Amino acid sequence: MAHAHSRSGRPEELDQDGRCAQVPQFPAGVEKASPNGDFVWRRCPAPCALALLPLPARFRCSSKMVAAVCASRVSGLLGRALPRVGRPMSSGAHGEEGSARMWKALTYFVALPGVGVSMLNVFLKSRHGEHERPEFVAYPHLRIRTKPFPWGDGNHTFFHNPHVNPLPTGYEDE
Amino acid sequence: MTHQTHAYHMVNPSPWPLTGALSALLLTSGLAMWFHYNTLTLLYLGLLTNMLTMYQWWRDIVREGTYQGHHTPIVQKGLRYGMILFIVSEVFFFAGFFWAFYHSSLVPTHDLGGCWPPTGIIPLNPLEVPLLNTSVLLASGVSITWAHHSLMEGKRNNMNQALLITIGLGVYFTALQASEYLETSFSISDGIYGSTFFMATGFHGLHVIIGSTFLMVCLLRQLKYHFTSKHHFGFEAAAWYWHF
């Protein structure tokens, strides 16, 4: 950041880039994204600040013209945001302090135990034993083969399980 | 004038849109060749060129954003719009399958026996593995939120752990669903019941695989310090996709 303070103290002086010599400048093109209001705005000397008032142009003397340029440079660096002291937490953009801790607790004490309970439920239900597979009936609305599958013999579905999936003609292992 | 005076990203010329379009042509014609002439060459070519295009195009986007600084706030806004619109299109894609299911199941035709499930179909018990799958995906939604907050608060170890848990749950879901597919007594060829069941759950499973892959890429990038606590849109996009 180029510091202009070491140069002449007169507020209306411009440096060789046409920028206000009194105000520390960022290198051209760098955006300042800080939400804090602690910005060069406050370090602008009083004569510059006066020029920010919406005075009619004819009241401005040349020093205020220069100061107006300086102020517009400053607000240009700020973008359209006004300086603020603090920034209210919005849940979408930033995490509130401690919210990660809450979600970690939810993960380990609610979500994962929920998965564990569901796993237990499946395990217990599976211990009831395999039930008899149903007798094969050649319903016309099931095991449809209007066109062969592009794999194998064209007659087996992709996840075919010979124990539970009959072919159109019946179970393979009977 | 040696530099741009606006904050948008004028992307350098890239071959990937062309290779992507060509891969789409190879995939579609490859499928047609496979279905009708029993030959896989064109399809394999299509899959290869598609994978290569995706890898190189997204690698370039990561380079442009993370290493070259092109992703200014306005550019990021555009990326957000893009991801939101894409997800909305996915919602409509699934809406079609839900429409087909409700159309068929609320007024079952007489050739099915006039009932739902149709005669001869023994459905899965929804309170066994399907319920477990539901709890797995809901838990992964909680863990990915933990990951996001940890990232925003700069807690690196927590973030890595949470993202790993999320990916693990996604993989667990896929494994469970594959085992369910092998155990069902009905198949995709079992009338409209089989069609609606496997189209909806099949595309859902494919999207879980895609989402898990997206999260794995995020994990790799996180381990390489690509994300900052304020700028991590790639992760946010993956999280939005995962939630949907």
Query: Given this model, what pLDDT does residue B42 score?
Result: 97
Query: Given this model, what pLDDT does residue A98 score?
Result: 84
Give the CATH number, domain containing residue B199: 1.20.120.80
Residues A54-60, mean pLDDT to the nearest whole number: 49
Whether the ω angle into residue B117 lies within 30 degrees of 0, i.e. cis, is yes
Query: Given this model, what pLDDT does residue A173 score?
Result: 85
Query: Given this model, what pLDDT does residue A60 score?
Result: 44
Residue B226 lies in domain: 100-243
Asked if the structure places residue B204 within a domain, the reply is yes
Asked if the structure places residue B36 within a domain, the reply is no
Query: Given this model, what pLDDT does residue A31 score?
Result: 47
Query: Given this model, what pLDDT does residue A24 score?
Result: 55
Residues B90-108, mean pLDDT to the nearest whole number: 98
Both tokens assigned to B112: 């099915």
pLDDT confidence of B3, banded at 50, 70, 90?
A: confident
Q: Distance between CA atoms of B129 and B139, rounded to whole angstroms?
A: 15
Query: Given this model, what pLDDT does residue B228 score?
Result: 96
Asked if the structure places residue B202 within a domain, the reply is yes
Looking at per-residue pLDDT, the higher value among A36 and B130 belongs to B130
What are residue A14's phi and psi, to 5 degrees?
-105, 150
DSSP B67: I
3-state secondary structure of B61: helix
Length in residues, chain A: 174
Query: Given this model, what pLDDT does residue A97 score?
Result: 74
Is the model's pLDDT at A77 over the cut of 60? no
How many Cβ contacts (< 8 angstroms) between chains A and B? 121
Asked if the structure places residue B52 within a domain, the reply is no
Percent of chain A with pLDDT over 70: 45
- A-chain CB neighbours of B138 within 8 Å are 111, 114
pLDDT confidence of A39, banded at 50, 70, 90?
A: very low
Say yes or no: B205 contacts chain A, CB-CB below 8 A.
Answer: no
Residue reference for tokens 């051209």: A28
How many domains are there within chain B? 1
Convert the pLDDT of each residue in A88-139 to its tens digit: 554 444 546 789 999 999 999 999 999 999 999 999 998 887 778 889 999 9
In single-letter form, the type of residue at position B19 comes to: T
Query: Given this model, what pLDDT does residue A33 score?
Result: 45
- A-chain CB neighbours of B112 within 8 Å are 141
Query: Given this model, what pLDDT does residue A15 score?
Result: 66
Q: Distance between CA atoms of A106 and B145, rounded to whole angstroms?
A: 10
Convert the pLDDT of each residue in B153-174 to its tens digit: 999 999 999 999 999 999 999 9
Is the model's pLDDT at A143 over the cut of 80? yes
CA distances to A126, B56, B120, B139, B236 from B83, rounded to whole Å, are 42, 19, 43, 23, 10
Asked if the structure places residue B153 within a domain, the reply is yes
Both tokens assigned to B100: 């087909």
Query: Given this model, what pLDDT does residue B134 score?
Result: 97
Query: Given this model, what pLDDT does residue A88 score?
Result: 55
Residue reference for tokens 């009619």: A56
Say whether B181 and A159 touch across the interface (CB within 8 A). yes
Is the model's pLDDT at A46 over the cut of 60? no
Say yes or no: A137 contacts chain B, CB-CB below 8 A.
Answer: yes
3-state secondary structure of A44: coil
pLDDT confidence of A76, banded at 50, 70, 90?
A: very low
Q: Distance between CA atoms of A132 and A164, rounded to whole angstroms?
A: 10
> Looking at the partner chain, which of A31, A150, A161 has a beta carbon nearest the beta carbon of B34?
A150
> Which residue of B104, B145, B157 is the best one to mutate when testing the A interface, meaning the one whose CB has the most A CBs within 10 A?
B145
Asked if the structure places residue B47 within a domain, the reply is no
The shortest C-alpha distance from B17 to chain A (Å) reads 31
Check the CA dihedral B89-B169-B63-B153 and report its sign.
positive
Convert the pLDDT of each residue in B202-216 to its tens digit: 999 999 999 999 999
Asked if the structure places residue B8 within a domain, the reply is no
CA distances to A18, B106, B126, B186 from B117, rounded to whole Å, are 79, 10, 13, 11
Asked if the structure places residue B76 within a domain, the reply is no
Say whether B187 and A122 touch across the interface (CB within 8 A). no
Structural element, H or E, at residue A62: helix A62-78
CB B152 within 8 A of CB B119: no
Convert the pLDDT of each residue in B30-62 to its tens digit: 999 999 999 999 999 999 999 999 999 999 999
